[in-house]
Amino acid sequence: MYLVSAHVLKVALNVFNSWWQINQPSFFNRLIVIYKSCIEFLLQLPDTTNHLEVSKRQEGLFISMEMLRKLNEVNEAHNQIIPYHKFYVPELKDRVNIRDDYISWVQRTNRLSQVGGVTIQTGLYFCNYPFLFDGAAKSVLLQTDAALQMQNAIESAHRINLISCFTPMQIFDPVNPCLILKVSRNTIVQDTLNELHSKHSADLKKPLKVIFLGEEAVDEGGVRKEFFMLLLREVLDPKYGMFKLHEESNLQWFNPSTFEDPNMFHMIGILCGLAIYNFTIINLQFPLALYKKLLKKPVTVDDVKELDPGVGKGLQDLLDYDGDDFEAVFNLSFEIMQEQFGEIKSVELCTDGKNKLVNQTNKHEYINLYVDYLLNKSVEVQFKAFSEGFHSVCGGNVLDLFHPQELQAMVVGNEDYDFTEFEKNTDYKNDYHKYHPTIKMFWEVFHEMSLEDKKKFLLFLTGSDRIPVFGMKNVKMTIQPAGGGEKFLPVAHTCFNLLDLPRYTVKSTLREKLLLAIQQTEGFGLV
């Protein structure tokens, strides 16, 4: 066993922290590839019952993952030398029982022990190295966590129900396996608020089923998808004034001047969590800062740049300027001007901020206070309600395993397209099949389209140009013939990923009609 003392290891790591800076990102990436290759090799070895061999493999995995942990810490500390997803080891979800690993990790069944002066765990938890898990693996962890919390809630509910036989208390029904929301299309916002208010927190962990009052449709996913679409379209409507759209970035942020009750933000937070647990992508056009805050990560000036590029550029100009005439050039004090209820008002960033001038010495303090006010303090009430709603669904240990960008991808999807997989996964109805002349022409036209037009087609078909973290295999299209002849356009039924495709006989006509159809969709952002 090649183990060193904790003191020597600490000295080596300090040297390593300084040493990486003189190397190119390509070399840093090569180190990661080396240790990932070690893990991949050990995972693909055939199973064995030889205790010595098992011990050697565990030691190899431990050393490799510990090195990757350190590399990941360096990577994050320096604003991602390489993209975070370069640390993924996709083989983990195929070679490791992720569910069992997570349960053991949560329960902490194994004790710590000393080996060669280094503290290690007698049981190796892969969940201690969450940066190795890709989005699909973390989706499994979410499902596992939901099941664990439901099991605990049901056991607790049995006790509560027993007590309620003697004292009047709210009874939680552990028998119903689904969270059922009954809403009217005409009053969908208020109905959803009322329904969620009546639910026990444990109910939110159950699979969601939606019933539109007066309709007989069974929710196999399409109704739920339409529910999210209609509800979010309503609450994001400017008439509520809950969010402010930044036109330059096309991103939204909480409106600090809203008149809406915090319960509305709490509801949207719950919906965000429900969408994750029910694997429904929703198009909440928020910056990465939202997901950093949900994971209790600090926000920075880079987050301001994403949300409001104009303001971000102004702050960066302050950082970059090193002239002696800083105060004369910028003429700033520790206050900002902000619109509140139609009036421009001054907001001091610190005590007596209007009389404290920004200079070369304190400009970093000014920028930190500016970022803190814009993304934290000014929207504290709104975000607190949103966060409490979100964590009522997605709270627990599992969130500690997520990177902010991974959590964002769980909500809004990603752009990891595989259109060959998309074609293989498509179903056909009635007399259409994959060898039908019209279908063959359709796929020829589709694969010849530009990436932008393919994304527009996804938006046309599903309501979103992004895909789930599980990949294209979870975007299943069904194509059925449509009547009316070649003069008609294709029609998409967004809630069911269903395409009505007329029986075109000429490829150029099919291309023309398809491109025309996808240009005319607004899309909302649901998949």
Q: What is the per-residue pLDDT across 286-302, written as a single tens digit (0 to 9) for each?
A: 999 999 999 999 999 99
Q: Would the pLDDT of 426 be above 90?
A: yes
What average pLDDT does range 324-334 have in this prediction? 91
Positions annotated as catalytic residues are: 495
Gap between the Cα atoms of 38 and 342, Å rounded: 60
Higher pLDDT, 174 or 485: 485
Q: Give the pLDDT confidence score for residue 419 in this predicted structure.
A: 92
Higher pLDDT, 280 or 18: 280
Q: Would the pLDDT of 53 be above 50?
A: yes
Q: Would the pLDDT of 465 be above 90?
A: no
Q: Would the pLDDT of 4 be above 50?
A: no
Q: Is 419-520 assigned to CATH 3.30.2410.10? A: yes
Phi, psi (degrees; rounded to nearest 5) at 351: -60, 130
Q: Is 149-286 assigned to CATH 3.90.1750.10? A: yes
Gap between the Cα atoms of 253 and 68, Å rounded: 35
Q: Would the pLDDT of 442 be above 80?
A: yes
Q: Give the pLDDT confidence score for residue 26 in this predicted structure.
A: 84
Q: Give the pLDDT confidence score for residue 110 in this predicted structure.
A: 46
Gap between the Cα atoms of 58 and 60, Å rounded: 5
Q: Give the pLDDT confidence score for residue 525 in this predicted structure.
A: 37
Q: Give the pLDDT confidence score for residue 23 in this predicted structure.
A: 66
- Segment 491-516, tens digit of pLDDT: 988 778 899 999 999 999 999 999 99
CATH 3.90.1750.10 segments of the chain: 149-286
| Rg of the Cα atoms in the chain | 27
Q: Considering the chain, what is the average pLDDT of its residues?
A: 84
Neighbours of 232 (CB within 10 A): 20
Q: Would the pLDDT of 111 be above 60?
A: no
Q: Give the pLDDT confidence score for residue 297 in this predicted structure.
A: 92
Q: Mind spelling out the 3-state secondary structure of 124-171?
A: CCHHHCHHHCCHHHHHHHHHHHHHHHHHHHHHHHHHHHHHHCCCCCCC
What average pLDDT does range 479-483 have in this prediction? 91
What average pLDDT does range 73-94 have in this prediction? 87
How confident is residue 427, by pLDDT bands cut at 50, 70 and 90? very high
What percentage of the chain carries pLDDT values higher than 70? 85
Query: Which tokens is 283 given?
Result: 């198009």
Residue 398 CB contacts under 8 Å (≥ 6 apart), including other chains: 102, 141, 142, 144, 145
Between 127-136, 292-301, 380-389, 459-468, the lowest mean confidence (pLDDT) is in 459-468
CATH 3.30.2410.10 segments of the chain: 419-520
Residue 224 CB contacts under 8 Å (≥ 6 apart), including other chains: 208, 209, 210, 278, 280
Q: Give the pLDDT confidence score for residue 424 in this predicted structure.
A: 93
How confident is residue 214, by pLDDT bands cut at 50, 70 and 90? confident
What average pLDDT does range 98-117 have in this prediction? 66
Gap between the Cα atoms of 511 and 453, Å rounded: 11
How confident is residue 51, by pLDDT bands cut at 50, 70 and 90? confident
Q: Give the pLDDT confidence score for residue 22 in this predicted structure.
A: 62
Q: Would the pLDDT of 120 be above 50?
A: no
Q: Would the pLDDT of 339 be above 80?
A: no
- Segment 362-413, tens digit of pLDDT: 999 999 999 999 999 999 999 999 999 999 888 777 888 899 998 998 888 8
